């Protein structure tokens, strides 16, 4: 055989191999769309869990050689022509979410960041809220004429019962849908179902009676409930609300609006959250109640005479105490403009416990208000105090257990 036919045979085999590699890398969504700017886009991977990562291949020398010499137009999505890229996300809690990785390749002029948004649809056309990219990684090829980009889009809930998933993409600036993809749902299963109970529903939690009187999920999710206690000065107030369904979708967060109305038999609260889960026959609503006053002596830790630093400086403290197996450390205090910020870490805190700044005073015994609080789960806390003229701060912290009331109800208007 002459050299020329042999070269053609090797080239043909290489192209077949490239085609197989390209098809294999596309996963369940085996087609791509061309955007108006000339770029090609496809769904590279779907990931379900608490830790997500997508990495393109780091080409071996022979693969990189092919990537440099095979014309871009033949295999525009060939990862061998680009350096390895990666993007991912993780969360500290136990709530799993769906991560949709989008891979985009195209001419360099199309590489400028765009306001992409994605939504997930079920077989009936119901959709999630449009999600913005929560992370991206981009690189050019060796010629500088083309680029590859990975974007990720996170969804707290998606239609796990739907045998088919449809994903649509739009440009939030220009408006209008740009692409849509459809494939069998890799996370489909024959999930069990929950039976909702009619409202109102009452749940007794130790000495608290919690009655859920209304629950609807129109634009936002709103839960209205009454709490009563044997104690007229009950220190228990709602803190968080969690929604879950029988398929594993779960959402936990701080409501953006809490209303309170005093009643003869207790308090009437309303908690408003963004629409959070997929439509199911029933959701589990879990309400957390936390103390804000009347802490027991065994729940308190007091530290007096903490020096308030000068503006723009931080003082390391290193104070610590133990509540059972949990170690609580007062790490530092800093001053930023009018705020005095106290930073703390917790090691070994149970999930159902909370850390609260029960009270704070300055060196003259004047009450110091908390302006805001930040935290990362139960591992890290910051309390910002309105202590403009204070030279010393006295703090009393409370480490206390929350109480929870659960209800299984139907989403919709009740």
Segment 139-185, tens digit of pLDDT: 888 888 888 899 999 998 999 999 999 999 998 777 778 899 998 99
- Give the number of domains in the chain: 3
Does residue 65 lie in a domain region?
Answer: yes
125 and 38 co-located in one domain: yes
Domain-located, residue 192: no
User: Taking the model in full, what pTM does it have?
Assistant: 0.80
pLDDT of 26 reads 45
Whether residue 376 sits in one domain with residue 320: yes
Are 108 and 155 part of one and the same domain? Answer: yes
Query: Considering the domain boundaries, does residue 48 fall inside one?
Result: yes
- Decide: 394 and 306 in contact? Cβ < 8 Å: yes
Residue 317 in this model has a pLDDT that exceeds 70: yes
Which backbone phi and psi does 343 adopt, to 5 degrees? -110, 135
Domain termination site, one of 150, 184, 218: 184
Q: Give the separation between CA 337 and CA 52, rounded to whole angstroms.
A: 39
In tens, the pLDDT along 207-255 reads: 889 999 999 887 788 899 988 876 666 678 888 899 999 999 998 877 7
If asked whether residues 249 and 301 sit together in one domain, one would say: no
Query: Are 167 and 315 within one domain?
Result: no
The reply to whether 137 falls in a domain is: yes
Co-location of 238 and 306 in the same domain: no
- How many residues are recorded in the chain? 414
Residue 392 contacts residue 306 (beta carbons within 8 Å): yes
Q: What is the CATH number of the domain that holds 358?
A: 2.60.40
- What are the CA-CA distances from residue 359 to residues 143, 384, 391 (Å)? 63, 13, 17
Give the integer Cα–Cα distance in Å for 60 and 65. 9
Could you tell me which of 299, 295, 298 has the C-alpha nearest to residue 236? 295
Q: Are 245 and 279 in contact (CB under 8 A)?
A: no
Residue 171 in domain? yes
Q: Which tens digits make up the pLDDT trace of 22-35?
A: 444 445 555 678 88
In the DSSP assignment, the letter for residue 140 is E
183, burial (CB in 10 Å: exposed 0-12, middle 13-18, buried 19+): middle
387 lies in which domain range? 297-399
Residues 150 and 254 in one domain: no
- In angstroms, rounded to a whole number, what is the distance separating the alpha carbons of residues 319 and 343? 11
Q: Cα separation of 114 and 3, whole Å?
A: 48
Q: Name the 3-class secondary structure at 259.
A: strand
Q: H or E element: which one contains 359?
A: strand 353-362
């Amino acid at each position: 055989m002459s050299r020329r036919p042999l070269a053609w045979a090797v080239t043909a085999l290489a192209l077949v191999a490239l085609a197989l590699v390209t098809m294999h890398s596309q996963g369940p969504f085996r087609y791509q769309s061309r955007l108006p700017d000339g770029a090609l886009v496809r769904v590279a991977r779907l990931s379900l869990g608490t830790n997500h990562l997508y990495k393109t291949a780091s080409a071996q020398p022979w693969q990189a050689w092919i990537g440099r010499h095979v014309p871009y137009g033949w295999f525009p999505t060939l990862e061998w022509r680009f350096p390895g890229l990666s993007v991912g996300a993780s969360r500290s809690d136990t709530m799993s979410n769906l991560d949709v990785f989008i891979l985009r390749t195209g001419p360099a002029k199309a590489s400028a960041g765009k306001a992409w948004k994605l939504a997930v649809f079920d077989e009936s056309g119901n959709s999630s809220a449009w999600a913005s990219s929560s992370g991206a990684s981009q690189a050019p090829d060796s010629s500088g004429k083309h680029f590859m980009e990975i974007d990720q889009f996170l969804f707290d809930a998606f239609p796990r019962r739907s045998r088919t998933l449809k994903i649509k993409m739009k440009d939030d600036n220009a408006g209008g849908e740009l692409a849509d993809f459809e494939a069998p749902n890799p996370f489909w299963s024959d999930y069990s179902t929950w039976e909702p109970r009619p409202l109102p529903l009452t749940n007794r939690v130790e000495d608290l009676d919690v009655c859920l009187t209304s629950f609807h999920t129109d634009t936002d999710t709103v839960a209205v409930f009454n709490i009563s206690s044997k104690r007229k000065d009950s220190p228990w107030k709602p803190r968080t609300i969690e929604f879950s369904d029988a398929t594993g979708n779960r959402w936990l967060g701080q409501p953006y609006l809490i209303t309170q109305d005093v009643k003869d038999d207790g308090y009437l609260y309303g908690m408003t959250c963004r629409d959070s889960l997929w439509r199911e026959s029933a959701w589990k609503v879990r309400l957390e109640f936390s103390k804000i006053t009347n802490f027991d002596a065994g729940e308190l830790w007091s530290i007096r005479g903490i020096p308030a630093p000068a503006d723009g400086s931080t003082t390391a403290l290193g104070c610590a105490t133990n509540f059972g197996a949990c170690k609580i450390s007062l790490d530092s205090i800093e001053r930023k403009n009018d705020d005095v910020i106290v930073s703390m870490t917790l090691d070994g805190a149970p999930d159902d416990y909370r850390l609260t700044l029960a009270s704070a005073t300055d060196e003259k015994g004047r009450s110091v208000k908390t302006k805001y609080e930040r935290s990362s789960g139960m591992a890290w806390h910051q309390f910002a105090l309105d202590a403009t003229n204070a030279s010393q701060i006295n703090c009393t912290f409370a480490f206390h257990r929350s109480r929870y009331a659960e209800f299984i109800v139907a989403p919709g208007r009740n």
